[in-house]
Structure 1
C-alpha cells in the first residue's frame, strides 16, 4: 500500500469545464465496469483485477483528487463505487440480479434499495465483493480499507452509514461519497460543504482584523496562548517526551455576556492562521432518535480532524449542559450524549472552542478538559470609547458637532454587539436625510431602543 497522505487539506482544484470534468471520471467508470464484468464472469472471477487507468494531468478534478491524495488502486475502486450512483447508476444494475435458488438478491453483493432511487445502492459489502470476490483471506485483508479510521473514511472521502439499528454487521453500512468532497470530486468546486443532517456545521468568516477586536489585556493575553498553540503544536508533538504527556488538540471555553467578541475572536483565530472555522449548528446535531446525535457529531469530528478545521460550538450550554440524575430513558440518553462529547473532545487533535453566555449551566466535567477558560467581560468606558470611535468612522455619514463620544461611552454600558446594532440604526436614519448626518439625539434614541431590547432603560 502507498504511504498515508498528509492529513492537511489538499488544495482544491479550480472549477473545470464540463468536458475536462468528465475525462478522468469516465475512464474510472469504465474501469469499474470492467471489474464488475470480471467478477460476474466465472472464467475470470478468481483472476487478478484489471489495473486502474493512469492518472493524467488535466484529466479533471476527480483524477486530481486521487493523485493529490496518492490513492492506491483498491482505494480508488472503493471511491468510484461510492460515487457511481451519483453519476452513472445504470452501471450497478448487474447487482440487481436475483438468485434463482432463493428468489432473493445475492447475499455476497450486499447493497441497499432506496425509497426513491430505483437503482442499486452499494454498501461496504459490495466493495469487498469487487475487491476480493469470495476469497476469505483477501476479504479479511481488505476490510481495513473500510474501517472508520482508514484513510478514505477518516478523511471524509467516503461515508459509511449503518442505517439500521441493532446487530447488523458493520459492513452492511451504506457506502456514499463524503458530503464535504462530492462537489470537489465532480466539478472541482472548492466550496465548503453545506449543512445537512449528516454535516451539521457552517463556515463562519469575518472581514475584520485583530485591530478591530477590542478586549481587555488579560483576555488578549489568554487568546495569545491559543495563537501560540496553533503556531507551534506540530513541533511540540514531534518531541517524544512531550508527546507522551501532552494530548494533541486544544480545547477552550469562551464565556461572558452576549456581544462581547466571542464569535469574532473564533473567526479571527481561523483567519489569521489559515484555518477554516465551522460553527456547529446544534439544531442539526441533536436528534430525538437514540444514537443519531452521536452519529452526527462523529461525522463532524472526523471531517474536522482531517481537514484542519476549527470547531466553534456557539451557545454550547444547550449541548454541553450539566448531567442530571437518571430518572427516565430521556435522562439516560442526554447523559450519554454529554459523556460521548467529553470523549470526542478529548480525542480531537484540533482546536475546539466552546462559547456560552451562561457558564454556570455547563457540566463541571468539562472544566479540567479545557486548556483555557477565557472571560469576555462587558467593555469598560475606555474600551467602549474605542468601540464607538471605530464603529462610527466611515464615509457614509458625518457626525454632528454635538456628538460627544467620551460622554457616550461613560454614560451607557453597552457591548460591542450592541454598539453595532446602534450603528445599523443610525445608518438608516442618516440614509433618509438629504445630507447624511448623525446627531447626538439620533444616537440617544438608538441606544434607548437597544437597551429596551435587553430590558434596561437609558439614564
Structure 2
C-alpha cells in the first residue's frame, strides 16, 4: 500500500463521522424518517419541517476552525450599476435563493407541484413578488431589453415551454459575486483581463477622462499611430473617471462561435466589477451583434485601432481621439519609472533608445527584459540591454514577409570612401533624431506625410550596399529586414500593391530597418501608356510613390541600376548614397579584412599585388577569400598565393571575365588550374 493511502483513509473517516452526525441530526427533525418514497414527492409534513428548520452547519470539522465570511452589500451596488428596479431586485432574489439556501429547492419543487423542478418558474416568481401572472409590465422585466436579461444577470431556460412555466436561474458568476466571491468569469480567461493604470499618464488621458465623467460619453474610438499607447491612454482615462479597466482582445472575441453571447458576458463582467471596456485592436470586420452588445450604454467602451472609424459600425457616434506617439522625454520618463535605480550611471534612456518608437506598455515590457538581461550578467542596465529589450517588442508578422538579419558587423568592418561613410552616419543620425526634428520641431508638416526616413544605396554588385544597411541597423540597435521580391511581385493586377501594403503595414509596427534589395524591380520608372500593361504598371508605381511618403519607418532601397528608378522616388528620399568600385588602397584593405586575423597565411601572400592587379568589388574579394580558405583547408596548409590566385581565377570565370597574362603575370597557371 502506498505511503499516503493510510493517511487519506484516516481523513475519510473524519468525513464519515461528520456524515453520521448529520444523519442523526436530520432524523431528530424528520417527521417521516422511514418513508420508502423519500425524494420522489414532498409531503405537507416535509415542507412544514423544512420551513421550521434552518440550514445551519453540522458539527464543526475536527481540528479546524470555522472560516470567517464577509458579506458585502453587493446587491445595492449591482442595482445602481445595472439600473435595476425594485421588482428586478425581487425577481433576482427569488431566482438566487436555491443557490444560497438549499431548502428553497424543496420549497420551489413543492410550489411548482413537480419535485424535479427545483428552480422558480416565471409564473411562480411573479406570484412570489405579489403580482398576477398576466401582469404585462412585470413580464417585460424578464424579456429582451430589460437589464436582467440583457446583462445575463438572470437566465431563462426551457424556451419550448409556455412562458409562465419557464425556469429562472442565476449564473454562477453573478451568484458568487453577490456573495462576495472575487473569482473572474471562466469564459473570459484569455479574452479579457484587468488593466492597471500606472506610470505617467499618457497625453490626452485627462481630457478623455473628463468626457467620460462629466459629459457622460459611453463610446470612444482611439485611432493609434505607430508608437502610440491607446490601451494605456484608455485605461488612464477610465481610472480618472472613476472606472476600472477591462482590456478585451477584440479579434479573439469576433472569432468566437457565439460572439454576441460572449459580448454580453463581457458587459456583465464590466458591470459587476465597475469597469469600462478597452476593446481592440479594431479591424473593421467585427460582426454587428458584437458592437450592438458592447455599446448598449451600460458601461463605457473605449475602442482602439489604426484605421479610421466607420460610422456604420455602431448606431452611437463615438468620441474620436488621435493617439500620437510619446515624445522622447515622455518615453524616457516611462523607462526611468520602469527601471528605478537600475540604470547605469550617466545613461540617458531617451538617447539610448531614441530610434525606437514604443508605447508605454511596450516600454514597460522591454524594461522587464532589459532588467533580466542585466541581472543575468550581474551588471546595471546599459544601452545594450535597453536596445535588446526594445527589440523583443517587435511584432512577428513582418518575418513572414521579409527575412530578419541580426546585425553582426560594425562601422570598423566597412571599407568605404570618407564621403560614403559620412552619408551613412548621416542616415543613422536622421533615424536617431527624427522625433525631435519631425514631431517636436514639425519640420515636415501637413499633407499626410509620414515620419519615416528613406535612403537609396546605389552601386554595382558587391560594393557593400547590403552590408552597409546591416551596419546602420546595428549601430541603431535595430534588426534588418530584407524584403524578398518573390513574395511581393505578383502577375495578377493589384496583388503587388496588396503585398507591399502588408509589408509597409507590418513594418510600421516594427522597430527595424527595411531593406528593398534590387529595388528597381518594383520602384521603376513610369512609362507612356500604350496598352493596359503600361497603365497598371504606372498605377503600381504611383501607389508606391504615395506609400513611401506616408511610411513611418526606416527604409533603404538598394539598386545596381540607379538610372532605372523613377525621379519622383528620388525626390522623396532623405539620403542617396553612391557606392563606388573600390580603388587600389581600398582593395588592399578589403583583402586584409576578408582574410582576417584567424586565417593562417603563408609567407608568400602578397596583398599589394592582389590589390593592384585585380579590380574587384568588395563582395567578389570576400568570395575569393572564402574560396581560398576552402582550398587551403582541403590541402591542409595555410592560405598562400596559389590558393588566392586560384580563387580569383574562379571569381573571374563566374563574372565572365578573361584571365589574361597581363593581369595574372606569372600566376596565370594557378588561375587556370
TM-score tier (shorter): 0.5 to 0.7
CA distance in 2, matches of 1:263, 1:293: 23
Deviations 1:190-224 (A, max 9, x none): 7863778xx52121233222111110111011112
CA positional deviation for 1:129:
2.0
Deviations 1:271-319 (A, max 9, x none): 1102222111111112223222222212221221232222111000100
Worse-matched range after superposition: 381-390 or 244-253:
244-253
Which aligned pairs between 1:68-107 and structure 2 lie closer than 5 A?
Answer: 70=232, 76-81=248-253, 91-92=256-257
CA positional deviation for 1:127:
4.6
CA positional deviation for 1:69:
5.3
Pick the structure with greater CA Rg: 2
Worse-matched range after superposition: 254-263 or 436-445:
436-445
* Alpha-carbon contact 1:192-1:203 (below 8 Å) kept: no
Match of 1:297 in 2: 500
CA distance in 2, matches of 1:75, 1:453: 59
Which of 313, 321, 335 is the equivalent residue of 2:538? 335
Query: Are residue 408 (structure 1) and residue 548 (structure 2) matched?
Result: no
Query: Are residue 345 (structure 1) and residue 548 (structure 2) matched?
Result: yes
Match of 2:626 in 1: 424
* Alpha-carbon contact 1:314-1:355 (below 8 Å) kept: yes
CA distance in 1, matches of 2:405, 2:584: 29
CA positional deviation for 1:394:
3.5
Which aligned pairs between 1:247-266 and structure 2 lie closer than 5 A?
Answer: 248-266=451-469
CA positional deviation for 1:239:
3.4
Match of 1:224 in 2: 425
Query: Are residue 310 (structure 1) and residue 450 (structure 2) matched?
Result: no
Match of 1:392 in 2: 595
Match of 1:131 in 2: 291
CA distance in 1, matches of 2:612, 2:284: 65
CA distance in 2, matches of 1:136, 1:290: 43
| SS of equivalent to 1:379 | coil
Worse-matched range after superposition: 218-227 or 229-238:
229-238
CA positional deviation for 1:328:
2.6
CA distance in 2, matches of 1:208, 1:283: 27
* Alpha-carbon contact 1:131-1:142 (below 8 Å) kept: no
| SS of equivalent to 1:349 | coil
Gap runs ≥5 in structure 2: 1-142, 154-184, 197-228, 236-244, 262-281, 310-319, 325-361, 370-391, 664-673
Worse-matched range after superposition: 324-333 or 71-80:
71-80
* Alpha-carbon contact 1:200-1:282 (below 8 Å) kept: no
CA distance in 2, matches of 1:304, 1:394: 38
Deviations 1:298-357 (A, max 9, x none): 222122123222211100010011112222322222111111111011111222110000
Worse-matched range after superposition: 441-450 or 326-335:
326-335
Which aligned pairs between 1:42-121 and structure 2 lie closer than 5 A?
Answer: 46-47=150-151, 52-54=192-194, 70=232, 76-81=248-253, 91-92=256-257
| SS of equivalent to 2:481 | strand
CA distance in 2, matches of 1:133, 1:94: 9
CA distance in 2, matches of 1:291, 1:95: 35
Match of 2:525 in 1: 322
Deviations 1:128-187 (A, max 9, x none): 42232497999xx98974662589xx99xxxxxxxxxxxxxxxxxxxxxxxxx9xx9xxx
* Alpha-carbon contact 1:308-1:350 (below 8 Å) kept: yes
Worse-matched range after superposition: 400-409 or 44-53:
44-53
| SS of equivalent to 1:373 | strand
295 and 144 in structure 1: CA distance in 2 versus 1, 3 angstrom threshold: farther
Q: Give the aligned length.
A: 341
CA positional deviation for 1:78:
0.8
CA distance in 2, matches of 1:453, 1:399: 25
CA distance in 2, matches of 1:195, 1:134: 32
Which of 552, 575, 600 is the equivalent residue of 1:372? 575
CA distance in 1, matches of 2:450, 2:285: 36
* Alpha-carbon contact 1:194-1:202 (below 8 Å) kept: no
363 and 125 in structure 1: CA distance in 2 versus 1, 3 angstrom threshold: closer
Match of 1:355 in 2: 558
Kindly report the root-mean-square deviation, in angstroms, between the aligned alpha carbons of the 2 structures: 3.9
146 and 371 in structure 1: CA distance in 2 versus 1, 3 angstrom threshold: closer
TM-score by length of 1: 0.65
Match of 1:110 in 2: none
CA distance in 2, matches of 1:251, 1:311: 9
| SS of equivalent to 1:244 | coil
CA distance in 2, matches of 1:447, 1:313: 30
| SS of equivalent to 1:398 | coil
TM-score by length of 2: 0.45
Deviations 1:375-422 (A, max 9, x none): 101111101111111111233x42222211011101111111111111
| SS of equivalent to 2:429 | helix
CA positional deviation for 1:126:
3.6
Query: Are residue 439 (structure 1) and residue 598 (structure 2) matched?
Result: no
371 and 123 in structure 1: CA distance in 2 versus 1, 3 angstrom threshold: closer
146 and 349 in structure 1: CA distance in 2 versus 1, 3 angstrom threshold: closer
Match of 2:71 in 1: none
CA distance in 1, matches of 2:489, 2:251: 29
Match of 1:7 in 2: none
| SS of equivalent to 1:54 | strand
Deviations 1:205-263 (A, max 9, x none): 33222111110111011112112111211111243453438962222111001111100
